[in-house]
A and B are shown apart, each in its own frame.
Chain A
Amino acid sequence: MSAREVILARIRSSLTDVPVGVAPERDVPVAWKYAQAVDVGDVLGSFAQRVADYKATVVRCAASEVPDEIAKALTTLGVRSVVVPTGLEESWKDAVTKAGAHVVVDSEEHRLSHKELNDTGAVLTAAAVGAAQTGTIVLDHSADQGRRALSLVPDVHVCIVRADQVVSGVPEAVARLKASVQAGQPLTWISGPSATSDIELSRVEGVHGPRTLYVIIAE
């Protein structure tokens, strides 16, 4: 017998107390209402505050002001080169050039090497969902967010979240993300910059992921 068969047989012989043929959902009902909104009051305001609680920089602006805010962010942070995914809005890409930084596009034809990513100052991406209660941003790695390594290797992540992407909490976020997962897309949930508390529980921002997270909320 293969290991697979042995393990399955062990499981079945361990579960003699479980009635055969009863659907799991009927055998053990879960009294939980999924995908409910949670009460956070002002959703956008809470989102901005909770993201800032993690020591990320948060800016709120009108959608039309996003390019200016991107340029401002890159200048403030002193970034010289920025990697962008192919599907990012053109006016946002242009803002990088206007800020005097070099645009590096990661595309299917030209995948940046790990070293090239490591040598880039920042990454600029959109997002899929924001969750207010926990201050979480989720990337589903659609074309305007790029593959997972992009938002990981450069030391600065400038992330633009649209107001209509922000929901009250994790339950609504999970519901919104289901289609992406069913389509086989990976997810990256980000709550503040990379952090560790492994030495005497002192929180240190930035170990391996970006040390700086700069979030622009487009209203």
Chain B
Amino acid sequence: MGTELERLTPAPPEGDLLDSPRFPQAAKTELANHQQRTNLRHATTTIRNKRARVVGELSNWQDLRDAGEAIKTRVGRHLDEYLLQFEENFTKAGGHVHWARDAEEANRIVVALVKDTGQEEIVKVKSMVTQEIDMNEALEAEGIAAWETDLAELIVQLGHDRPSHIVVPALHRNRSEVREIFLKEMGRYGTPPPDDLDDQPKNLAGAARVHLREKFMRAKTSTSGANFAIAETGSLVVVESEGNGRMCLTLPDTLISVVGIEKILPTFDDLEVFLQLLPRSSTGERMNPYTSVWTGTTDGDGPKNVHVVLVDNGRTNVLADPEGRAALRCIRCSACLNICPVYERVGGHAYGSVYPGPIGAILNPQLRGTDSEIDRSLPFASSLCGACNEVCPVKIPISDLLVHERHKVVEAKKKDPPHIPHTAEPQIMAAAAWVMDDHRHLELAGKGSELGSRVLGGLLGWKKIGPLPPPLSRWTDARDVPMLPEQTFRDWWKQNRETKK
């Protein structure tokens, strides 16, 4: 393991997220992880019940959602004006604004800014966009150690792991796993946990407090994301629970905030809508423990050098599709993940992105395009049950957009057939058309299945049909197909109903 310590921070799992297997393959592996399924079911059930309770307290919840939807729609349709307004006001308040076309440019800006400070380490507030651009690895490559300070992100980082949820990234880990990670890794990168550390969440959080406090006390530079950027006042807003965010935002001399260009709110007043929608949708609390708002620099309070990096990285691609644009309204609350029956079973890693669940299934193919197998498969990673539409605080019509994205993938396949293997659907549909064409065909097919079932089920004792040869393998790869009934419905009807007349 000597090579690991040549790095400054724990190495993440090998391989690029984009190289992840397409969803059905990944899902199969993840589904077999019983521990994860148990953790996920417990977690998502708990959060969605809490959410339902606190949302139920507000009689005007639907009006709030309408307001959230309208405000974010307005932002999308006038994004250039609002970004310029934000830039002007943030700069006027003593901050510096940088623009980044893509991940590489954003990382280059952040690395240069950190190098200007002469620091070789930074502390980080949990942020989705810094994960999206893989900022930690870009800093590591330049000899700068980036320390995650959110408890769940710390668990993920020390565990050489990847986040599996937008808000609770270590959702897939249980307390005994966390204890093992802390005992094994904490001491290698800073203050070790006490030798007698048990697996009580209180004591695990205590160990993290001591481990991270030392890093906070010496940190001179930090990075964050932002939940909102207010055009009217040039303010940034970070919503959190633990206070690690406040530590990073106030103690260091230099603060670099990396923010997606869609995070704008037009006015400070608009915060009243989103500070009601976000915590209730996200963690099921009336309000999260801490929210910080800052505008450039303030004399005698907080960092003296304040930067914001406005990142495109595919967001203008999303904007270019008037229908798909709705996905940019997302405020990363993860309510759609917590309600999704598919996410609940496969977890976040199968989505091959930092944005898992229903929102990831529509956002990733739009942000990244559909060149990779994983991005082509994501719009199909849903049963279209529509539960996500109901909980989305900004009313993103997720299932409509899934269908819209499926259509785009299919269209792209037609245009670029050599690279994409034929799918099974046309052949299956042709077979189905023959069966449905004539009732005698249907009866024949029924007899066939009856016979098949007797033979297979009887001889082999199967309860389910396993993998079938192509083209049907395309379906059975991603589904457990129940064994065919031993009697067709038509035969059952003849026996039980027609004779009784």
On A, residues with C-beta under 8 Å from B are: 2-4, 6-8, 10-15, 17-18, 24-25, 27-32, 34-35, 50, 54, 108, 111, 114-115, 118, 131, 133-136, 141, 147-149, 152-153, 170-171, 173-175, 177-178, 181-182, 184-202, 204, 206-210
Do A7 and B152 touch (CB < 8 A)?
Answer: no
> Is B217's beta carbon under 8 Å from chain A?
yes
Do B70 and A170 touch (CB < 8 A)?
Answer: no
Provide 16 A-B residue pairs closer than 8 Å at the C-beta atoms, listed in order of the A residue. A3-B101, A3-B105, A15-B78, A17-B322, A24-B74, A31-B70, A114-B216, A148-B250, A188-B290, A190-B290, A191-B290, A196-B205, A198-B170, A199-B173, A200-B42, A210-B243
Known: A177-B268, A186-B298, A198-B155. 7 other contacts (CB 8 A): A30-B67, A32-B67, A148-B249, A199-B201, A200-B42, A204-B202, A207-B205
Do A186 and B290 touch (CB < 8 A)?
Answer: no
If A174-B271, A178-B268, A186-B293 touch, does A201 touch B242 (CB 8 Å cutoff)?
no
Interfacial chain B residues near A173, Cβ < 8 Å: 272
Per-residue CB proximity of B48-65 to A under 8 Å, as 1/0? Answer: 000000000000000110
The complex places the Cα of A199 from the Cα of B174 at a distance, in Å, of: 7
Residue in A11, A192, A200 whose CB lies within 8 Å of B316: A11
If A7-B310, A14-B319, A152-B246 touch, does A27 touch B287 (CB 8 Å cutoff)?
no
User: Nearest Cβ distance between residue B261 and chain A, in whole angstroms?
Assistant: 7
On B, residues with C-beta under 8 Å from A are: 39, 42-43, 46-47, 63-64, 66-67, 70-71, 73-74, 77-84, 93, 98-101, 105, 149-152, 155, 168, 170, 173-175, 178, 201-202, 204-205, 208-209, 212-213, 216-217, 233, 235, 241-244, 246-247, 249-251, 261, 266, 268-269, 271-273, 275-276, 283, 285-296, 298, 300-302, 310, 312, 316, 319-320, 322
Do B217 and A188 touch (CB < 8 A)?
Answer: no
User: Nearest Cβ distance between residue B248 and chain A, in whole angstroms?
Assistant: 10
User: Nearest Cβ distance between residue A155 and chain B, in whole angstroms?
Assistant: 10
Interfacial chain B residues near A185, Cβ < 8 Å: 295, 298
Do B291 and A141 touch (CB < 8 A)?
Answer: no
Residue in B105, B168, B268 whose CB lies within 8 Å of A201: B168
Residue in B100, B217, B269 whose CB lies within 8 Å of A115: B217
Interfacial chain B residues near A189, Cβ < 8 Å: 275, 287, 290-293
